[in-house]
Structure 1
Amino acid sequence: MPDDSSSAADSGGRFWRSLRSLFGQEPEPSLRDQIEEAIEEHEGESSAEEDDLSQAERDMLRNILHFGERNVGDVGVPRGRIVAVPETISFVELVERFVEAEHSRLPVYRDNLDHVIGMIHVKDVFRIIATGAPPPQTITPLIRQPRYVPSSMRIIDLLADMREARTHLAIVLNEYSGTDGLVTIEDLVEEIVGKIEDEHDEAEEELLIPLGDSIWQADARAELDDVAKLIDPRLAIIDDDVETLGGLASSLAGHVPQPGEIVLHPSGWRLEIADADERRVKSMLLHPPVMEPEPQD
């Protein structure tokens, strides 16, 4: 049987909270706010107490406090950096792509990246090689189903979902059900503990390097948002749904441009392809627009 005094106290508390809100008084700080305020008060301090929180623990605790606020679209690998394979790829070519990508899982698409039909785990490939079994005629028997999630989904919900489904990779979909990116369990854990490097990770390289005379050496993986901030915002203005310089060059050219080819941007910037293969552009030089001489009086 409920306690009448407790119910009355709850009703009274709600009444006074509503009254304070009506008169514009600040609401009482939430538990989240109180914990974060306590962390900030001790920011930068080094305590000799063994049971006190270390700086690393404080950083992780702060990340946990905001973990539930972020959406799937805020984390993971953006579309322009996804390494995927077509469903028509041969087993030998699939092995080569795994070696080149150094990933444990590769998405599989049909026709284009907006139609991801599954993923392949490297251990399934390795099992065939290790046992000496004949390679499959197609990669269809190796395809597993990932999760498909909207970019608006909260990452805390995705983590619980992936744990329950025992799936380590999710394909992120945009509002048109096209592929927006992908997220792995590692990406979600890194939101709490920070970047996790392994023996295959290389030191982060500069994707945009100034060479002088306003010319830039650019990795095709550079995102247009970064190009806009660092070089020229006009380079990011394009109707097609592309996110990287490589995608921009291919979209403007109407095909995958090859080394030596120069692609003209509407702003006047010239994209000189330095390295590419039949599948994608790898690097380029960005030449600034040629300034028209001012007319003489």
Structure 2
Amino acid sequence: MNSEPRLPDHPLGDSPAGAADGVGGDGRDLPSPKGFFGRFFGALTGNDDGGEEQAARNGNQSDAPSILNLRRMRVDDVAVPKAELVAAPDTVSLEELVGMFREHGFSRVPVYEGSLDSPLGMIHLKDLALKHGFGHESDFDLRPMLRPLLYVPPSMSIGVLLQQMQQKRIHMALVIDEYGGVDGLVTIEDLIEQVIGEIEDEHDEGHDVLWVQEKPGQWLIRARAPLDEVESETGLRLFDAEEEEDIDTIGGLVIALADRVPEEGEVIVHDSGAEFEIVEADPRRIKRVRMRMPEAQQAAETAAEAVRLMR
């Protein structure tokens, strides 16, 4: 028997085979030399090569929250579309502005003059409360309370925009198209959510509920609810995908049926017999509709529910 100790397969001063690739000699992954903030700033500056290699090994997951989204996502990937943007005219009254903050739960609202394509700035809920809340009595003057906004192109990297927001301490940006018009809105929270996932607080509870079944055969639905999901929920075919019109939401379907933006209280009838009552709308868009199944189908749904409750 040979009593001499066996020499290692590599020099003692060198790294084990595979260590350069982040794998130890026994096959285990070595700890990353970069912490979270190292990867964060690496993603902003374009030096996070290890992260890209890991992403390549894991496959393309661009929709998932990731620090790499700071480089690979653009502003128009995360912006709130103009049609869904909540903004106030410079002629808004104090009561109307307070109602807007209360209804939507935002802390910042952009303000415009005449039309949304002529923005003036944004109003912060804190500024409004400090000047006109807590028992303060004074004449309402909106303009002195306005704070500046950032104006950015849709092609800008969200990492670059995040840096600008941090440096300038402005946490809301309007997306401007090639003609100088407003195309959407982005907040600093929208950008951070692309890295760490959705941020929810006590005011976000229930905001993502797209519909509520009020009774058998009747639903209260947000206009932005995807049409295919509503069809799956109700079991009713509402739109033929082979038709030329590109309709993705229940609000888009109702507008197409009416050939205009219907007013609150109107009832739009589908070819199947289903009814859409406009519960909430403004001159530019529908916000919520009440959908009722065709009478025969609704009666069957009601009977089935009664039988279920009797069991």
User: Does structure 2 retain, via aligned residues, the 8 Å contact 1:67–1:192?
Assistant: yes
Match of 1:79 in 2: 82
Match of 1:10 in 2: none
Q: Which amino acid aligns with 1:161?
A: Q
Q: Number of matched residues?
A: 233
Match of 1:258 among 238, 241, 264: 264
Matched, 1:96 2:99: yes
Match of 2:12 in 1: none
**Following TM superposition, by how much is the alpha carbon of 1:196 offset from its aligned partner in structure 2, in angstroms?**
0.9
Matched, 1:227 2:231: no
Query: Structure 1 residues 77 and 284 mapped into 2: Cα distance closer, same or farther (>3 Å)?
Result: same
Query: Structure 1 residues 191 and 163 mapped into 2: Cα distance closer, same or farther (>3 Å)?
Result: same
The separation in 1 between residues aligned to 2:177 and 2:167, in whole angstroms, is: 23
The separation in 2 between residues aligned to 1:36 and 1:270, in whole angstroms, is: 47
- Aligned positions of 1:44-83 closer than 5 A: 63-83=66-86
**Deviations 1:51-82 (CA, angstroms, capped at 9, x unpaired):** xxxxxxxx9x9711232000011114232332
CA RMSD, Structure 1 to Structure 2 (Å): 4.0
Tell which deviates more after alignment, 173-182 or 149-158: 173-182
User: Does structure 2 retain, via aligned residues, the 8 Å contact 1:170–1:183?
Assistant: yes
Match of 2:199 in 1: 196
Match of 2:119 in 1: 116
Q: Which amino acid aligns with 1:83?
A: V
**Deviations 1:200-244 (CA, angstroms, capped at 9, x unpaired):** 11135442579999x884634416xx32676566689669xx986
User: Does structure 1 retain, via aligned residues, the 8 Å contact 2:224–2:287?
Assistant: no
**Following TM superposition, by how much is the alpha carbon of 1:286 offset from its aligned partner in structure 2, in angstroms?**
5.4
The structure 1 segments of at least 4 consecutive aligned residues displaced by more than 6 Å after TM superposition are 209-213, 267-271
**Deviations 1:69-120 (CA, angstroms, capped at 9, x unpaired):** 0001111423233221111111222122112221110111233333333210
User: Does structure 1 retain, via aligned residues, the 8 Å contact 2:79–2:175?
Assistant: no
Match of 1:276 in 2: 280
Query: Structure 1 residues 100 and 162 mapped into 2: Cα distance closer, same or farther (>3 Å)?
Result: same
The separation in 1 between residues aligned to 2:198 and 2:73, in whole angstroms, is: 17
User: Does structure 1 retain, via aligned residues, the 8 Å contact 2:111–2:123?
Assistant: yes
The separation in 1 between residues aligned to 2:290 and 2:53, in whole angstroms, is: 51
The separation in 2 between residues aligned to 1:248 and 1:86, in whole angstroms, is: 29
**Alignment gaps of 5+ in structure 2:** 1-48, 232-237, 295-311
Q: Which amino acid aligns with 2:136?
A: G
Query: Structure 1 residues 155 and 208 mapped into 2: Cα distance closer, same or farther (>3 Å)?
Result: same
**Alignment gaps of 5+ in structure 1:** 1-29, 42-58, 290-297
**Following TM superposition, by how much is the alpha carbon of 1:275 offset from its aligned partner in structure 2, in angstroms?**
0.9
Match of 1:35 in 2: 54
Please, what TM-score do these two structures have when normalized by structure 1? 0.62
Please, what TM-score do these two structures have when normalized by structure 2? 0.60
1:111 aligned counterpart, secondary structure: coil
